[in-house]
Amino acid sequence: MRLTIVGSGPARPQPDTPASGILVEADGTALLLDCGPGVIGALRRWVDPTALSAVFVGHMHADHYLDVAPLRYLFPWGERASRRLPVLLPPGGRARLDALAMAISERDGFFDDAFEVSEYAGGVERSIGSLRVRPFNSQHYVPAWGVEILDGASRRIVYAGDTGPTVGLVDVARGADLLVCEATLDDPDVDDVVRGHVTADEALEMARRAGVSRTVLTHYPSSLRPAIAEAIGASGLDVVLAAPGVSIELPASS
């Protein structure tokens, strides 16, 4: 199983990376986790986006889903695609997607001609090719979900999505082969009272408590890269700092 960073940026546009987008591949299956601005154009370096096995969207903030519109334009405009791409949205996402079609002045059913849209439920597992995915509730400013991904050898990736510091993520990620966690903030005091993001130090502490084998820190402003790299170096953990093109193989013996 291989994970490739397509975009590692937050909502504020960055000069050197798209927003949120991660490609997971295993045994002929290609799953895109989130689809933020700039992701689809960058994704074409690795795969044909129309040939993805599925797209999973963790929540309906623009930096996690807005590139579904450019993705749609890769499909025939005026007819139904011969093979529609499964797009997994959180509860309520279907209505948001319909509203997006109206916002970009497209017709009713515009996305349905190219996408097989469904809404997932937290804790309900489903198969996508050779992978099994299980969404779990995250802690964010809006309803949000992370996802556990397991391959045929039971190797496990936990993608946290956007999250505040929470014991729920620690519990889900416990013992995972790979945890992908955000590191958006440089100061926790700038966050809301009910936290929706974490600092690199908070992300690393959750990884430590979960006892994961390896961690990827993503979803951060590029200006924080040196400080996050310093925190990683001081942590004593096996941590990779996300950037476009960074790829991680999960070995068969993991």
Task: State residue 253's pLDDT score.
Answer: 56
Residue 202 contacts residue 231 (beta carbons within 8 Å): no
pTM of the predicted model, to two decimals? 0.97
Task: State residue 78's pLDDT score.
Answer: 82
Task: State residue 254's pLDDT score.
Answer: 44
Task: State residue 77's pLDDT score.
Answer: 85
Pairing mode, if any, of strands 21-26 and 29-33? antiparallel
Task: State residue 90's pLDDT score.
Answer: 98
Residues in the chain: 254
Q: Is 31 helix (H, G, I), strand (E, B) or coil?
A: strand
Q: What number of helices (H) and strands (E) belong to the chain?
A: 7, 14
CA distance 201 to 207: 10
User: Alpha carbon 181 to chain centroid distance?
Assistant: 9
User: Alpha carbon 249 to chain centroid distance?
Assistant: 17
Q: 3-state SS of the chain: helix, strand, coil percent to 5?
A: 25, 25, 50
CATH assignment, 2-247: 3.60.15.10
| Phi-psi sector, 154: left (phi>0), alpha (psi -120 to 50), beta | left
**Per residue in 151-209, pLDDT tens?**
999 999 999 999 999 999 999 999 999 999 999 999 999 999 999 999 999 999 999 99
Residue 21 contacts residue 62 (beta carbons within 8 Å): no
Considering only CA atoms, give the Rg of the chain. Answer: 17
Task: State residue 252's pLDDT score.
Answer: 75
| Blockwise average pLDDT, block size 10, the chain, 254 residues | 98 98 98 98 98 98 98 92 97 97 95 98 96 97 98 96 98 98 97 96 98 98 98 98 98 64
Q: Which residue has the tokens 């960073």?
A: 5
For the chain, which residues make up each domain, given as ranges? 2-247
Task: State residue 73's pLDDT score.
Answer: 97
